[in-house]
Structure 1
């Protein structure tokens, strides 16, 4: 709290009231609390965050902890309620956070890859070669709030003249990108869609049999993930966070593991305006109220 010494009681009380209103969180941050949309298994999210958390502790000079959530809405609500300070959000989740916080949530940085992100449509059915072949098939999105696992694929399906609820036999939501692959591989869905980064990681790690499950088309590019802070976070801390991310360099041995786990070549500054097209797509799809 700010301590104000009063020369006159009324003036001091007014000053204290103003300071409390204008700077509610500055001196309260003794530990940076970080979360992320659960677009992968919880154990994988923890593994990805561990070296990044240690790096941020060193750069900020304060403890940093990871706060897991059970669903995408949980991250948005935690940010709005100031239970977390920094969040890894998808483009659509950022739009939701911006609206939920009255436009105060601040996107700091995104990976260079997120400036031109894509989603992959996958199947194990040899008869499916194009989006048109999805008619009458069972289909799996990721989370309903996922940019790359639902919103943007749905938007591009609509652009191709397909209405999932009318044209597909059934529509399911797996909850996460890796779960979507499992749906398709096991036959629970004829086809599905997930983000390109997770697909590539699963292929590289041998966790998907590409002789069985294959990509049959890829979406056009769009803006996606970013690191966002709550709007009333101390501006000095926000500045240090942005600088810490921008300093990360895969050529630096100390940063190599962090960047590999984040699947980033580098981080670049971002801004809310980058996500206007995602907000428009969400409105067009009827996903924003």
Structure 2
């Protein structure tokens, strides 16, 4: 009897501790906070989580180069960060993957990076790129972009091309759409972006693939997970995971908007429990975690 009572007391204590945290901070990446539409969706998501948990959920934008500090200072409990951001946070800031966006087969959804050039450059192969590098300014998307900066930079490094040294200069377009548009207009001669985003823009008729020379396409990159602090109450983490896994059926309207946070998704996209090994391919692209940390 005493053991039973003790178990009940412990359970009740754990339940109370779930709500001992008055505010839960939901961190969103700059790709979300810089878009009015996505920011509105993030606010709806925070409200939805608040209602489900019975605890206030506040949005907190992830600050490029400062995310680790935000986590360490207790300003982030849940984070919607990109793939590279998670790899760094899991190594340096005690974050763990909770769920990842998936297709109807319950497989993690991935995307790809690419290097593309305007046809006027006559750069068609990577050998051409190496031979002509000094003539051109190389365009990236943003400093924190996985497919628009970090993955292609790692690939360039492995091919003995140091962007700031090998090319005439380096520039950042600001978004995948802006990078693609500037290459199409010959404003940026060669650059890196999401190949998945390019395919989608071609599919809707914005561009034709013949308007670009595709120099390189990366291996598939798993979308960044919904991640949480490892030291969050286990029951809270379990509840959060349940909310995400059930979101497509409990609130399909909201889910159809939330999945747009990630690459290559559709209104029918689901979530599955995430595994840290999904991101080993990114870790393997670099010679060490130190190399990744320097890039971010």
Question: Do these two structures clear the TM 0.5 threshold for a shared fold by scoring above it?
Answer: yes
What is the aligned counterpart of 1:98 among 90, 107, 111? 90
Taking the aligned partners of 1:158 and 1:94, their CA distance within structure 2 comes to 21
C-alpha distance 39-197 of structure 1, shift in aligned 2 (>3 A): farther
| Separation (CA, whole Å) in 1 of partners of 2:291 and 2:72 | 23
The residue number in structure 2 matching 1:110 is 100
Work out whether 1:288 is the aligned partner of 2:280: no
The CA distance in 2 between the partners of 1:215 and 1:225, in whole Å, is: 28
Match of 2:218 in 1: 219
Q: Which runs of 5+ in 1 are unaligned?
A: 1-24
Alignment of 1:104-253 (within 5 A): 104-112=94-102, 115-126=109-120, 127-134=122-129, 135-136=132-133, 137-159=136-158, 162-185=161-184, 187-199=186-198, 209-210=207-208, 214=212, 216=214, 217-249=216-248, 253=252
Describe the SS at the equivalent of 1:49: helix
What residue number does 2:48 align with? 55
**Could you tell me how far 1:109 is from its partner in structure 2?**
1.1
- Which one is further off, 118-127 or 157-166? 157-166
Say which SS state the counterpart of residue 232 (structure 1) adopts: coil
Q: Which residue of 1 aligns with 2:21?
A: 29
Q: Which moved more, 1:225-234 or 1:242-251?
A: 242-251
Deviations 1:27-54 (A, max 9, x none): 5522322122213634244034244334
1:242-281 matches, cutoff 5 A: 242-249=241-248, 253-262=252-261, 263=265, 265-281=269-285
Cα displacement (A) at 1:226: 1.1
Normalised TM-score (structure 2):
0.72
Q: Does the 8 Å contact 2:119/2:213 carry over to 1?
A: no
Alpha-carbon distance change, 78 to 203 in structure 1, aligned in 2, over 3 angstroms:
farther
In structure 1, the residue matched to 2:12 is none
Contact conserved, 1:139 with 1:190, CA < 8 A, in 2? yes
TM-score computed with the length of structure 1 as normaliser: 0.73
Alignment of 1:74-85 (within 5 A): 74-85=66-77
Indicate if the aligned counterparts of 1:85 and 1:233 stay in contact, CA closer than 8 A.
yes
Q: Over aligned residues, Cα RMSD in angstroms?
A: 3.3
Q: Give the distance between the partners of 1:269 and 1:173, measured in 2 at CA.
A: 34
Conserved? CA contact 1:140–1:180, under 8 Å: yes
Contact 1:248 1:259 survives alignment (8 Å): no
1:87 is matched with which residue: 59, 69, 79? 79
Write the distance in 2 (CA, Å) between the matches of 1:168 and 1:250.
49
